[in-house]
Amino acid sequence: MNIGNVEINGKLFLAPMAGVTDIAFRKICRDKGAAFVVTEMISAKALSFNDKKTFDLMRLLPDEHPAAVQIFGHEPEIMAEAAQRVHEETGCEIVDINMGCPVPKIVGNGEGSALLKNPKLIGEIVSSVKK
């Protein structure tokens, strides 16, 4: 299977789960046959503040590739900077934009699933991140 130009050799994918898909859990899943893993969601804003805990969450092991790092936020410029930084720091093949998290503190900031109420903003975020 391919996602864009990323070839994934296998059928098992590990979905991102906040508080679950840490580096140890992803390692176990890779060892048990997951062909593709995604980190916990990473705050684009926290990355812009150089938060150490955030960098720990997005760390990938050399044998985790191909992999994705999931970011969340609502500001196109900050999301674009986060995507660039995530790619540079981790070497991930894919940057995933969270648009599904329903947790009140995420939705309350206009992030996660709240983005689905604003297709124009989604377009701006995706366009910024793609550049």
Alpha carbons 73 and 100: distance in angstroms, whole number = 12
Token code pair at residue 97: 């934009």
Q: For the CA atoms of 41, 46, 50, 56, what is the dihedral angle to 10 degrees?
A: -30
- Phi-psi map region of 10: left, alpha, beta (phi>0 left; psi -120 to 50 alpha): left
- On the question of a cis peptide bond just before residue 66, with omega within 30 degrees of 0, the verdict is yes
**Using CB atoms within 10 A of its CB, is residue 128 exposed (0-12), middle (13-18) or buried (19+)?**
middle
- Across the range 19-33, mean pLDDT stands at 93
CB-based contact 125:97 (threshold 8 Å): yes
pLDDT in tens, 34-76: 999 999 999 999 999 988 888 888 999 998 999 999 999 999 9
| Position 1 confidence tier, pLDDT thresholds 50, 70, 90 | confident
Whether residue 29 lies in the annotated active site: no
Q: Which of 42, 57, 80, 101 is catalytic?
A: 101
Query: Given a cut of 90, is residue 99 above it in pLDDT?
Result: yes
Alpha helices in 1-131 (DSSP H): 23-31, 44-48, 52-58, 76-90, 104-107, 119-130
What six digits make up the tokens of 27? 């390692």
- pTM (whole model) above 0.85: yes
